[in-house]
Structure 1
Amino acid sequence: MTDADANPLFARQTASQTEKAYCALEEMVVTGELPPGSQWSEAALSEKVGFGRTPTREALHKLAYQRLVHIAPRQGVFISEIDYQGQLKIIQARREIERLIVAQAALCASAAERAALRQLASELEGLKTLNDMRVYMRLHFCLTSRLGEAARNTYAAEFYAMLQTLARRFLYFHQKRHSNLVQICDLHIAQINAIADGDAERAMAAATARNDYAEQLARNILMELIVTSAVTISPAER
């Protein structure tokens, strides 16, 4: 059994049926179990995740807000296509909001939260050898949640989580173009250590470095897709 099997992707404790339905559906969208462009009924999705219609409906509305699904009255639920033209804009927006999140987390995190972040850094260190993208997705999801909580700004945290989900989905669908996870883990670890140390300036510098890396990776992927005509990007979007 791999670490990914032992630790379900994006697993976390949740208090409500709606939140559990949301976590399950988000996982399925991000990893392609619910393929981009596919059409589903609310009843089918409710059965698929094993929760009632009401929590499933509420979860779908949250996913719609995050642009992961489109709900069409009397037609069903459509899983959104990956927004290739908007990917660089997603990173651009995340770049700014992440600086706020990590700076606030460095200043406001409790001792318990700093300890939990150091544990995540340790798990990311181990992932450099394991090199399992599914495990990385799980840790990335958990890190986003912990940073959002430590920042003490629910408005910023909600927007940050949405941007992280969209970027995570893009990366997961193109993981074959990412031969190993050493560099990206090191970037996360540097950011986490700065936050755990309470150094806001160092945390923001680490966030900038991580987003520089993510932007270059996205550009490389997009250029490969453009060259092979897999996607078409208008000049205004480049």
Structure 2
Amino acid sequence: MKKITIAVDGFSSCGKSTMAKDLAREIGYIYIDSGAMYRATTLFALQNNIFDSNNEIDTSLLKELLPSMIISFKLNPETKTPETYLNNQLVEKEIRSMEVSQRVSPIAAIDFVREEMVKQQQAMGKNKGIVMDGRDIGTTVFPNAELKIFVTATPQVRAQRRYDEMIAKTGKADFNEILKNIEERDYIDQNRKVSPLKQADDALVLDNSSLTIAEQKEWLLQQFARVASQS
């Protein structure tokens, strides 16, 4: 059975990363979290005062500093899951904060940022045998991926998942603030000029609003087995 490329796209807080990580682990593929790369870039921008007091982005400064930014993934020896490092510093927790969540979509919409991320992602996946999730993996990064999945769920369901995650991690969260952030990100992601979020013509749609994790996993493994056996 030949190795294939699996592209998982969809809206924020659909559980794409968890799903893609689990699928990669199950089938022995490498998982690449493209969303974490944009979040790490946003954290980098915050660390370097690239946002002004009105949250406007100094794109000239970001472009100047971007070559000094190194994003990498390392496997946690205990959990066996990849974690995000920014310039050799573990930032997995920091990139999931609301401060980053509220600013990641504008950063991800910048053309030179996306060009750099796409270049790095394509290099990571040149040998196939990978699962990558994000917003434009099946349309821009890997348009020839053998298996493309587009994940969706209602904004309310996604907000509740994000709320539960933040309560578990930090003990505090505001559901209405999270829902507003999700709806704003949806609009920005779908309407940006560079690589907008959209379903690839040949993608399979997975609405996981009412699916259990086990049901979702079974569906994903079925799709993988079907496509991989044909490749």
TM-score (norm 1): 0.23
Task: Please tell me whether Structure 1 or Structure 2 has the larger radius of gyration of its CA atoms.
Answer: 1
Q: Kindly indicate which of the two structures has a greater share of residues assigned to helix.
A: 1
TM-score (norm 2): 0.24
Looking at both structures, which has the greater relative contact order when contacts are Cα pairs under 8 Å and sequence separation is at least 6? 2
